[in-house]
């Protein structure tokens, strides 16, 4: 089957007062006609930026650094704004994350839907426009459409506002619908209704859709395929108890468990026999037991000591001292590295001292058995390797 949308090695960055921030790094995926693809990840990981970069809806401070975006085999990553305007609405459209801010509070919902229709059909008559607005409102299951079309957004509930935003997105009969967290802030019942509505509309119109969410349960209900998922910071107390089984069913490649730079947590883990995972006490132990019982291999559960969270230099070295014991448990252990590391922020160290300390800790972590090195980009990886080489050379000379 021909790929409707193909994204290859897409990287997007933002220029800020603090320097360049990479929001999307080397992302690739494909989407076929009529298919639903879920992009799943934690808040702030770049899911929305990925979708907006495809539609060229990013602010002026953002730029696509590399990669390609092909629609029906046509490369569009180099398209200018005038060319993109011809694609938006007809080829792809987007349901934004917060319907209350997406809607104009000074216009009735009917007028806003009509405005979207006129963009794509500038010569439409007033009568046909009225009929099309009612058709779209009924398509998204807004009852009493004739009566409600004259009301303003504040008159609607969250679920009803989401339906209005969906009607606007469907005004141009798009081939691809990007749904950015369409169930955020909705209760469970309304959430299920919106997901069912999206499925029904997709089947009726033959659309493909990209569902952006941080909720694995929502993704499991709605999508046929999933982008690569990394569940980060599963130590959060409000974590859904069903997550381990859901993660295993979705084929989550890695789960990162954070220790937040707490040496006592490290000691709690390393005090237990390496061959009895279920006896690792405390919250981490319960989560590990649940994950392994759900079918996630121990080798896919990455333990992060959290050097960056330690409040003092001494705490970092306490973490380092217990790291080889942690590795003996059989889990991959992560050593985070960054040229902009915050490890030494509590020490008011100079940038040079902070970098030197970061390199020393990262290098020693790898020497103690850490198996995963996290860096932010290719340049940073190259810098890290170079710095490690210099550090080891200095150690030998000393």
Q: Is the pLDDT of residue 218 over 60?
A: yes
Each residue's pLDDT tens digit, 29-75: 888 888 888 887 766 778 888 999 999 998 888 989 889 999 988 99
Q: What is the mean pLDDT of residues 181-209?
A: 85
Q: Is the pLDDT of residue 281 over 60?
A: no
Model pTM above 0.75: no
Q: Which of 18-32, 66-80, 371-385 has the highest mean pLDDT?
A: 66-80
Q: What is the mean pLDDT of residues 80-94?
A: 91
Q: Band the pLDDT of 164: cuts 50, 70, 90.
A: very high
Higher pLDDT pick, 85 / 320: 85
- Exposure class string for 53-69: b at 16+ Cβ within 10 A, else e: bbbbbbeeebebeebeb
Q: Is the pLDDT of residue 118 over 90?
A: yes
Q: List active site positions.
A: 340, 374
Which range is least confidently modeled, 14-28, 35-49, 232-246, 350-364? 232-246
Each residue's pLDDT tens digit, 149-163: 999 999 998 889 999
Each residue's pLDDT tens digit, 245-280: 655 555 555 566 666 655 565 555 554 433 333 333
């Amino acid at each position: 089957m021909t790929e409707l949308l193909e994204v290859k090695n897409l990287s997007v960055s933002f220029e800020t007062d603090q320097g360049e921030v990479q929001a999307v790094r080397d992302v690739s995926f494909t989407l076929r006609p009529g298919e639903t693809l879920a992009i799943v990840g934690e808040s702030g990981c770049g899911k929305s930026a990925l979708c907006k970069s495809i539609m060229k809806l990013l602010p002026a401070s953002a730029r696509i650094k590399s990669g390609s975006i092909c629609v029906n085999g046509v490369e569009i990553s180099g398209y200018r704004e005038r060319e993109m305007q011809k694609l938006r609405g007809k080829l792809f459209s987007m349901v934004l994350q917060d319907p209350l801010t997406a809607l104009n509070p000074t216009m009735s919902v009917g007028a806003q839907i009509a405005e979207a229709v006129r963009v794509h059909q500038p010569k439409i008559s007033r009568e046909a426009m009225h009929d099309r607005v009612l058709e779209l409102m009924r398509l998204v299951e807004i009852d009493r459409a004739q009566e409600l079309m004259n009301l303003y957004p504040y008159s609607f509930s969250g679920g009803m506002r989401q339906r209005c935003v969906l009607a606007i997105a469907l005004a141009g009969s798009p081939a691809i619908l990007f749904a950015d967290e369409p169930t955020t802030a909705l209760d469970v019942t309304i959430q299920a209704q919106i997901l069912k509505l999206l499925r029904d509309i997709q089947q009726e119109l033959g659309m493909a859709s990209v569902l952006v969410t941080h909720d694995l349960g929502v993704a499991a209900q709605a999508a046929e395929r999933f982008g690569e998922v990394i569940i980060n910071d599963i130590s959060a107390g409000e974590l859904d108890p069903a997550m381990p089984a859901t993660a295993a069913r979705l084929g989550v490649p890695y789960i990162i468990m954070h220790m937040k730079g707490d040496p006592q947590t490290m000691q709690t883990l390393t005090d237990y026999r390496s061959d009895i995972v279920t006896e690792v006490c405390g919250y981490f132990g319960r989560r590990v037991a649940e994950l392994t019982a759900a079918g996630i291999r121990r080798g896919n559960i990455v333990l992060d000591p959290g050097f960056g969270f330690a409040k003092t230099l001494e705490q970092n070295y306490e973490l380092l001292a217990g790291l080889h014991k942690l590795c003996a448990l059989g889990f991959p252990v992560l050593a985070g590295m960054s040229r902009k590391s915050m490890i030494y922020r509590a020490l008011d160290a100079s940038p040079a001292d902070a970098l030197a300390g970061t390199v020393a800790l990262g290098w020693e972590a790898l020497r103690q058995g850490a198996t995963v090195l996290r860096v932010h980009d290719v340049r940073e990886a190259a810098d890290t390797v170079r710095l490690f080489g210099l550090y080891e050379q200095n150690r030998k000379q000393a």
